[in-house]
Amino acid sequence: MTLEPQIIVLATLLVSVVLFVTDAMRYDLIAIGVVLVLAITGVLTPDQAFSGFSSEAIVVIASMYVFGRATARWGIAEYIAEKLLLSGRQSESGTIMRVFTVAGLMSSILSNTGVVATLIPVLGSVAKQCKLPISRLLMPLAFGSLLGGMVTVIGTSTNVAVNGAIRDAGGLPFTLFEFTLFGLLMLGLGALFFIGPGRALLPRKRLDQSLSEHYQVPKFMTEVLVEPSSALINRVVADAKFFDAYGVSVLGIVRAEEEGGGTVLAPGPYNRIRTDDVLMVQGDPDAILRLRQDLGLRERATANVGNNPLHSSDVLLVETVVPATSNLIGSTLKDADFHNQTGLNVLAISKHGDVQPRMIGDAQLQVGDTLLIQGHRRDIDRLRASRELLVLDELEHQKFGRGALITVALLLGVLLLTALTDMGLSIAALTGAVGLVVTRCLRPEEVRRSIDWSVLILIGGMLALGKAFELHHLGTAVADWITGMGSGAGNEYLVLSLLLIITTLLTQVMNHVTAGVIMTPVAMSLAHGLEANDRPFLMAVLVGANLAFMSPVAHQANAMVMGPGDYRYRDFLRVGTPLTIYLGVAAVFFIPMFWPF
């Protein structure tokens, strides 16, 4: 065998890592590029390169996305979370413990990103009820969901993808509940961490700061007087394209006394601009200056541009989060025509904790970005129902109905069929997903929208890269290197530790699915070389791929809580690093107890 295919595979992996780390390209596009490179260069045949997209892993993950959509539509997760998290007063440590545990248990059978998306609004209410900064709760939410994914095979897409890589390499995949006891143990150890030192490390932010203060709205809000010569007179605010052209939002109209006085907040299509109206406008100062000069407006000293003038009993000021499944990801508010489509005003955007009240319409939205939104209650209710943005506001209390009961029954049926019969997980999961459509719990168009196609493409591409590793013996080469670092003396514990450390580090800098799939053939080669059971080494890969605590980009669950928690990168390092070391040491100790070498 020549070295050329190995060089191509390694170069492809290296370029992929750089693209993942720099976020220079969407990860689904990176995955497609990987498949094309491997197929065009002849490293893999076309059948081998594209086989990942037809694997059982793709079917299982797509089916579980459908179940996630059904649980969200029928309020199942919200109902359970409200009952467990909003029942009675409790201490801070008790609240954190409960949040962590509930997130972990729910993530054992539902997508962890879906669980995080569901619980973020719930924790907004919990934080208000317990008078806690939400930053004390959101990181335990994200980390609990990641550990909960280690309880069952369907807990995370990483588990399912690793199972697919094991099957492709000719190994025996994990059964549905094979590592449940171990996963529950790790979840319990994580909960103990947050009762003790972890709670002291959690940041405490934004308890007494209003939304308008946090998003610096007063700095970018101005009141302008409409003069008799203005081109805006008798124009409807929604029809006046002037404001869109300047990137300026009209948040309210203060009527002159002779016109009856009063304030119209979030003016709609029936509110016309009149002479001597005072417009409350928000935008870049230079843009507002050009607007005044071009349209006959005169600046008026603003007496109060804080939180009070921006909301009323019908007009709300709310904070929202971009979830991992939003169609807004990668687009700008201008491209999405957000204001005209929703009737809502975006006052500011926060990215990775940095508020950007300027050039709002041109900012490209990413997972975890938070938006300060003003609008009428009915429009915000529609936004909440669409789940394009998660609204951190008071929750509507959910009640179980027919659809909820059917969804729960079908999900339990999938688990029981897989556990008690010879039916494969992919067949059982797909049958359950079809059952949701047949019973009208979901409409066919909802099924299409519920699936995160970018994740499926990523997994298909990474399975191809894993196959290239296995076919060209790169897994064996890396395994030999790790064994050599373990002194070559058959020290299984040291080799297991090195495998877990390498997987964990890869997880922090590249996608967790990629890290798991790449290290799976390495784990199997290590077991073969040491003439040992492959289970402990495969579990080390699974654990390392799920310990995505040290960076907000290591997992979408982390990215989703970064904005609403007002976290910085250093917060994840401060809390995630000791948690990773603690659980890594525990895993090395306990894995051989469950799966002897």
Q: Examine the pLDDT at 1 and tell me if it is beyond 60.
A: no
- Of 9-23, 73-87, 420-434, give the range with the top mean pLDDT: 420-434
pLDDT in tens, 250-262: 777 787 766 566 7
Please give the residue that has the higher pLDDT: either 523 or 298. 523
Q: Are residues 374 and 443 in the same domain?
A: no
Q: Which of 398, 429, 456 is the last residue of a domain?
A: 398
Between the CA of residue 84 and those of 72, 136, 334, 361, 430, what are the distances in Å?
A: 17, 18, 40, 39, 30
The residue-averaged pLDDT of 545-570 equals: 86
Helix axes 402-420, 56-73, angle to 10 degrees: 150
148 vs 196: CA distance, rounded Å: 19
With contact defined as beta carbons under 8 Å apart, do 470 and 168 qualify? yes
Residue type, 207: L
111 vs 77: CA distance, rounded Å: 11
Residue type, 562: M
Between the CA of residue 301 and those of 221, 222, 225, 236, 275, what are the distances in Å?
A: 11, 8, 10, 24, 18
Q: Examine the pLDDT at 489 and tell me if it is beyond 50.
A: no
Q: Are residues 199 and 297 in the same domain?
A: no
Residue type, 378: R
Structure tokens at 166: 């094991």
With contact defined as beta carbons under 8 Å apart, do 176 and 182 qualify? no
298-313 burial code (b ≥16 CB/10 A, e <16): eeeeeeebeeebbbbe
Q: Examine the pLDDT at 2 and tell me if it is beyond 60.
A: no
Q: Examine the pLDDT at 306 and tell me if it is beyond 50.
A: no
30-45 burial code (b ≥16 CB/10 A, e <16): bbbbbbebbbeeebbe
pLDDT at 187: 95
- Helices and strands, number each (H, E), in the chain: 26, 10
Please give the residue that has the higher pLDDT: either 399 or 46. 46
561 vs 198: CA distance, rounded Å: 17
Q: Are residues 229 and 378 in the same domain?
A: yes
Please report, for the domain that includes residue 356, its CATH number: 3.30.70.1450
Structure tokens at 453: 């196609």
pLDDT in tens, 362-383: 788 888 888 888 888 888 888 8
Q: Are residues 453 and 499 in the same domain?
A: yes
What's the sign of the alpha-carbon dihedral 386, 392, 395, 400?
positive
pLDDT in tens, 528-542: 888 889 999 999 999
373 vs 388: CA distance, rounded Å: 13
437: pLDDT confidence band, cut at 50, 70 and 90? Answer: very high
Which residue has 């970064």 as its token pair? Answer: 562
Q: Which of 345, 380, 398 is the last residue of a domain?
A: 398
pLDDT in tens, 140-149: 999 999 999 8
Kindly report the backbone phi and psi dihedral angles of residue 533, in degrees, each rounded to the nearest multiple of 5, phi listed first. Answer: -65, 135
What's the sign of the alpha-carbon dihedral 158, 160, 162, 165?
negative
pLDDT at 486: 57
pLDDT at 394: 58
Q: Are residues 545 and 456 in the same domain?
A: yes
Q: Are residues 346 and 200 in the same domain?
A: no
Tell me the residue range of the domain where 218 lies.
Answer: 210-398
Q: Are residues 17 and 114 in the same domain?
A: yes
The residue-averaged pLDDT of 506-517 equals: 84
The residue-averaged pLDDT of 425-453 equals: 89
Residue type, 121: P
Q: Are residues 199 and 216 in the same domain?
A: no
| pLDDT, the chain, mean | 82
Q: Are residues 354 and 451 in the same domain?
A: no
Q: Are residues 267 and 181 in the same domain?
A: no
pLDDT in tens, 38-53: 999 888 999 888 988 8
Task: Determine the distance from the C-alpha atom of residue 98 to the mean position of all C-alpha atoms in its chain, rounded to a whole number.
Answer: 21
Q: Which of 398, 417, 449 is the last residue of a domain?
A: 398
Q: Examine the pLDDT at 391 and tell me if it is beyond 80.
A: yes
3-state SS track over 436-502: HHHCCCCCHHHHHHHCCHHHHHHHHHHHHHHHHHHHCCHHHHHHHHHHHHCCCCCCHHHHHHHHHHH
Q: Examine the pLDDT at 418 and tell me if it is beyond 70.
A: yes
- Who's near 484: CB < 8 A, 6+ residues apart? none
Please give the residue that has the higher pLDDT: either 284 or 457. 457
Task: Determine the distance from the C-alpha atom of residue 530 to the mean position of all C-alpha atoms in its chain, rounded to a whole number.
Answer: 39
Please give the residue that has the higher pLDDT: either 480 or 238. 480
pLDDT at 395: 58
Q: Are residues 153 and 258 in the same domain?
A: no
3-state SS track over 407-444: HHHHHHHHHHHHHHCCCCHHHHHHHHHHHHHHCCCCCH
Q: Are residues 69 and 85 in the same domain?
A: yes
Other C-beta atoms lying within 10 Å of the C-beta of residue 596: 11
Q: Examine the pLDDT at 77 and tell me if it is beyond 60.
A: yes
High-pLDDT (> 70) share of the chain, %: 87
The total domain count for the chain is 2
The residue-averaged pLDDT of 294-299 equals: 71
Which residue has 């588990």 as its token pair? Answer: 159
308: pLDDT confidence band, cut at 50, 70 and 90? Answer: very low
